[in-house]
């Protein structure tokens, strides 16, 4: 996926699939049906337990102590058995 279209300083990049800097990802599993109902609903009340993933790529900014820049989220939808 071409998610790194801009560098951490805002300049356009030629290589959009890889970022050669210190980085990490944060992954969160969630049920999209529960999220779409809004916060405060009982978990799994109407959802069928299908979990999707939301992934944020965090890349170190310029300099040794530059703040992290977030790329994402990239949503990976739930898979259905047999497909």
**Given a cut of 60, is residue 11 above it in pLDDT?**
yes
Give the integer Cα–Cα distance in Å for 74 and 17. 13
Q: What is the mean pLDDT of residues 13-41?
A: 82
Domains of the chain, by residue range, sit at 23-76
Residue 58 has what pLDDT? 93
Residue 47 has what pLDDT? 47
Q: What is the pLDDT of residues 45-73, one digit of tens each?
A: 554 568 899 999 999 988 777 789 999 99
**Given a cut of 90, is residue 7 above it in pLDDT?**
yes
Residue 49 has what pLDDT? 66
Could you tell me which of 17, 43, 20, 19 has the C-alpha nearest to residue 30? 43
**Given a cut of 70, is residue 78 above it in pLDDT?**
yes
DSSP 77: P
Q: Determine what percent of the chain is predicted with pLDDT higher than 70.
A: 82
């Amino acid at each position: 996926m071409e998610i790194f279209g801009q560098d951490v300083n805002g300049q356009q990049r030629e290589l959009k699939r890889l970022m050669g800097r210190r980085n990490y990802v944060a992954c969160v599993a969630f049920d999209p049906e529960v999220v779409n109902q809004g916060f405060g609903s009982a978990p799994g009340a109407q959802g069928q337990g299908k979990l999707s993933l939301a992934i944020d790529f965090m890349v170190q900014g310029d300099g040794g102590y530059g703040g992290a820049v977030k790329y994402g989220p990239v949503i990976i939808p739930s898979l259905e058995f047999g497909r």
